[in-house]
Amino acid sequence: MNIGFIGLGIMGKPMVRNLLKAGHRVWVRNRSKAPEEALRKDGAIPAGYREMAENCELVITMVPNSPQVREVLLGGDGIAQYMRQGQTVIDTSSINPVASQEIAAELAKRGVEMLDAPVSGGEPKAVDGTLSFMVGGKQEIFDRYKGILLNMGASAVRCGEVGAGNTTKLANQIIVACNIQAAAEALTLAQKAGVDPELVFQAIRGGLAGSTAMNAKVPMMLAGDDAPGFKIDLHIKDLNNVLDCAHSVGAPVPMTAQVQEILQWVQHHEGGQKDHSAIAQYYEYLTGIRLGR
């Protein structure tokens, strides 16, 4: 299939590579040109929006937040002005579900379908093609493109109409953030009490406290490795969307609000570009100890 892909950051670039490996022709566009040139070597085709729309049945977006999705799709030079009836946009960005619904309504006026399909898994799963897609949109559009999503991921689940994908992603981000925060707090307690946090991790990871988040992030905390698989800045963005959505629908999210305050502290102490496992550094500041060291 001919596919357009907009947004070649930490997630978008490996997603494109997996589409190329699956045999698709991929036209790419990014604000900075270095990722386009890197992907050209893998067989991708750097292109402007008009060329992309003329050649591609499907356009996938992976950009930071709602304003950027609106810009690349509906802005003055956005791709939607060149798209035609029967084409489809799959937005894999993590944005406010209300924004997804508004963008989909504007695209529908042009006869363009849309799925909102945010992902979970971070850079490692983007690289190895095992992302989890949470999808909102029409059943028939989901069925048509599910195989494309599975070229980049291990699972793709339709959760409802447009907006349901990003609502599901907000729920995911609450659970991930609270898991990481709880792990950092628990292991700080263990080390403060004189117990090796590595042994605590090994003892509990196979029990009820075990989780994918803990397995991925605790080794990073213990090694002092804060190279980003998913940046704190981006998790703060996601939790801001959680809080906005929760306030709109009247859902109580006190744990989310507390974790957001901790992430904000790390961000303001030069941690915004670090992996979200760097939440452990908040506890290091409070206690004066460094996990595992």
Q: How confident is the model at residue 162 (pLDDT cuts 50, 70, 90)?
A: very high
pLDDT at residue 122 is higher than 90? no
- Please indicate whether the domains covering 2-161 and 167-287 agree at the CATH topology level: no
The band of 150, judged by pLDDT with boundaries at 50, 70 and 90, is: very high
Fold classified for 2-161: Rossmann fold (3.40.50)
Question: What's the predicted TM-score (pTM) here?
Answer: 0.88
Q: How far apart are CA 271 and CA 264, in angstroms?
A: 9
Confidence of residue 230 (pLDDT cuts 50, 70, 90): confident
Percentage of the residues of the chain whose pLDDT score is greater than 90: 94
Give the per-residue pLDDT at 25: 98
- In sequence order, what E strands does the chain have? 2-6, 25-29, 45-46, 58-61, 88-91, 113-116, 119-120, 131-136, 153-160
Say which residues have a Cβ less than 8 Å from residue 176's Cβ, sequence separation at least 6. Answer: 120, 213, 235, 276
Q: What is the pLDDT of residues 86-108, one digit of tens each?
A: 999 999 999 999 999 999 999 99
Residue 121 has pLDDT above 90, yes or no: no
Domain-wise residue ranges, the chain: 2-161, 167-287
pLDDT of residue 216: 93
| Catalytic-role residue among 13, 125, 169, 217 | 169
The string of pLDDT tens digits covering residues 234-267 is: 999 999 999 999 998 999 999 999 999 999 999 9
Examine the residue annotation and report whether 146 is marked as an active-site residue of this protein.
no
Check whether 128 has a pLDDT greater than 90: yes
> What is the predicted pLDDT for the residue at 151?
98
- Predicted local confidence at residue 293, as pLDDT: 81
Alpha-carbon span 260 to 287, nearest angstrom: 20
pLDDT at 292 over 90: no
pLDDT at 136 over 90: yes
* Topology (CATH) of 167-287: N-(1-d-carboxylethyl)-l-norvaline Dehydrogenase; domain 2 (1.10.1040)
Cα separation, 154 vs 17, in Å, equals 15
Instruction: Give the chain's mean pLDDT.
Output: 95
Distance of alpha carbon 176 from alpha carbon 178, whole angstroms: 6
pLDDT at 207 over 90: yes
- Residue 290 φ then ψ, to 5°: -115, 125
Please state the rounded mean pLDDT for residues 138-145.
Answer: 98
Provide the pLDDT confidence category of residue 229 given band limits of 50, 70 and 90. Answer: confident
